[in-house]
């Protein structure tokens, strides 16, 4: 069964950050485990230089933000997804791992996916850079992220016809209900206080500070402004809050240059929800070891599944999927539509990378053309080569690249830029379609999975009844 986890990677004791990154990536890219590198896939980095690129991004991040690196900083995040033995070939596992990495990072962080086939169970290691591609922000891990990752992994596995582990933690409420009821964090409370102060329309930032003090909020003005609201244990920097609550953002909100962020609707246990949560997968109570050992869990699981069955029925009725054949066809069509969009996105992305590399080589070729011509005019003089080794070598590499592509005539930089812009616009539109197609496919596949479980459940119950009748 597919299982997943996520772990932060910090500098190991006695090692530098660079050494930790290099050793970690070296481990997952082990040639003896990845079929000499064939089972390695990367995004926004090259597998041969991924460690160096990750390290350079940290330096660029420090230069962009002015933040000094610390020993306890998270350098990368390590995810792993394992599959049931014999259920998926290594090549397909790499695709699933890449899909998981892309959806989890949303394409904002470079990553490497390495599939290991040295064990009986195929498994993928995924390591993504904590710094985003633009080197302006860092990925912030969140509480219970492993649960969210497991749910995403389950959905992807269902999309690819792979088995998953149903292992929800027993509790009185579902995780979604807990999210609705949980207490706001200290930062969220501080953001709420700032919103309340700004609703009083202070004329300038000084008056804003004055109103904060009147609300029993302590102010610490150093290099970065910090606040401690009444009841909070420690000061919190404004820069650590959401984007709309930095000192610059607050000043813009006071002056009217920035609008206030939409308020989060508070929910209570008895309040009706305007946007009910989508249905989830049913829990296989009959085959659940927890249900066998815990009557309380069994009651909760049956109630949960009953609610999800009702939501599934409503979905099927709304979409006129009242026959198994219709549902099966709709599920396959949804998968085909999603895969078609994904293939077009990958094709556009691949071509954009090719265009970028081609532009780079054309630029190099043009810059070094005169030097190489002089090199030929001097009948390939060793002295001239020693004095101009770098540009001559770059010129040869560019020419070899053109020959590899079998280009009879080089395209102009302007033409390539226009093609890149067209591809970027197409890719942006495809991503919008991709999101809608993915949501539709997930709903259809989840409904199909639930119907399969319900049909199997009723068939089992009828068999048990018949057995009791024969006795």
Contact present, 97 and 34 (Cβ < 8 Å): no
The sign one gets for the Cα dihedral 173, 177, 183, 186 is: positive
pLDDT given at position 288: 55
Give the C-alpha separation, 358 to 398, whole Å.
9
Q: What distance lies between CA 44 and its chain's CA centroid?
A: 13
- Residue of 73, 76, 92 lying closest to 84 (CA atoms): 92
Contact present, 17 and 73 (Cβ < 8 Å): yes
pLDDT given at position 295: 65
- Residue of 365, 362, 367, 364 lying closest to 416 (CA atoms): 362
pLDDT tens digits for the chain (471 residues)? Answer: 455 789 999 998 889 999 999 999 999 999 999 999 999 999 999 999 999 999 999 999 999 999 988 888 999 999 999 988 888 999 999 999 999 999 999 999 999 999 999 888 899 999 999 999 999 999 998 877 888 888 888 888 877 777 776 544 444 444 344 444 456 778 888 888 888 888 888 889 989 898 988 888 998 888 788 898 888 888 888 888 877 888 888 888 888 877 777 665 443 333 333 344 455 555 555 555 555 556 665 665 666 666 677 777 777 777 788 788 888 888 899 889 989 998 998 898 899 999 999 999 999 999 999 999 999 999 999 999 999 999 999 999 999 999 998 888 889 988 999 999 999 888 888 887 888 888 888 888 888 887 877 666 444 444 544 454 444
Give the C-alpha separation, 283 to 197, whole Å.
46
What is the residue whose two structure tokens read 């930062």? 187
Q: Where are the beta strands (DSSP E) in 54-153?
A: 74-82, 111-116, 123-129
- What is the residue-wise DSSP string for 265-322? PP--SSSPPSSPPPP-PPP-STT-HHHHH-HHHHHHHHHHHHHHHHHHHHHHHHTT--
CATH 3.30.930.30 applies to domain 3-169: yes
| Domain edges within the chain | 3-169, 186-255, 294-471
């Amino acid at each position: 069964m597919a299982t997943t986890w996520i772990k932060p990677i910090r500098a190991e004791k006695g090692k530098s950050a660079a050494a930790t990154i290099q050793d970690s990536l070296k481990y997952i890219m082990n040639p003896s485990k990845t079929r000499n590198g064939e089972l390695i896939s990367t995004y926004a980095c090259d597998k041969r230089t991924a460690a160096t690129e990750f390290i350079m991004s940290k330096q660029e991040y420090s230069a962009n933000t002015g933040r000094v690196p610390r020993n306890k900083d998270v350098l990368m995040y390590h995810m792993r997804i394992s599959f049931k033995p014999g259920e998926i070939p290594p090549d397909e596992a790499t695709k699933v791992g890449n899909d998981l990495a892309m959806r989890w990072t949303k394409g904002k962080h470079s990553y490497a996916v390495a599939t290991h086939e040295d064990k009986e169970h195929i498994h993928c290691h995924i390591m993504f850079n904590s710094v985003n591609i633009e080197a302006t922000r860092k990925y912030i891990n969140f509480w219970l992220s492993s649960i969210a990752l497991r749910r995403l992994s389950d959905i992807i596995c269902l999309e690819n016809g792979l088995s998953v582990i149903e292992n929800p933690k027993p509790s009185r409420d579902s995780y979604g209900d807990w999210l609705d009821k949980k207490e706001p964090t200290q930062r969220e409370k501080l953001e709420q206080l700032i919103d309340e102060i700004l609703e009083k329309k202070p004329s300038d930032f000084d008056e804003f500070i004055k109103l904060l003090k009147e609300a029993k909020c302590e102010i610490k003005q150093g290099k970065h402004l910090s606040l401690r609201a009444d009841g909070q244990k420690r000061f919190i920097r404004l820069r650590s809050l959401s984007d709309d609550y930095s000192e610059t953002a607050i000043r813009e909100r006071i002056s009217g240059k920035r609008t206030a962020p939409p308020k989060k609707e508070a929910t209570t246990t008895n309040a009706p929800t305007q946007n009910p949560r989508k249905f989830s997968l049913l829990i296989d109570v009959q085959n659940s070891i927890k249900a066998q050992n815990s009557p309380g869990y069994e009651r909760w699981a049956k109630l949960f599944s009953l609610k999800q069955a009702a939501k599934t029925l409503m979905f099927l009725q709304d979409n006129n999927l009242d026959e198994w054949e219709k549902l099966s066809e709709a599920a396959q069509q949804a998968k085909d539509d999603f895969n078609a969009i994904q293939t077009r996105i990958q094709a556009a992305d691949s071509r954009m990378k090719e265009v970028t590399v081609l532009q780079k080589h054309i630029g190099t070729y043009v810059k070094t053309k005169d030097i190489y011509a002089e090199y030929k005019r001097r009948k390939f003089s060793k002295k001239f080569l020693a004095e101009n080794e770098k540009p001559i070598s770059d010129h040869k590499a560019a020419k070899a690249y053109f020959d590899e592509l079998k280009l009879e005539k080089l395209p102009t930089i302007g033409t390539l830029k226009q093609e890149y812009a067209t591809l970027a616009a197409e890719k942006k539109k495809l991503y919008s379609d991709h999101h809608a197609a993915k949501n539709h496919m997930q709903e259809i596949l989840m409904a199909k999975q639930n119907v399969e479980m319900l049909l199997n459940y009723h068939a089992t119950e009828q068999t048990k009844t018949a057995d009791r009748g024969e006795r």
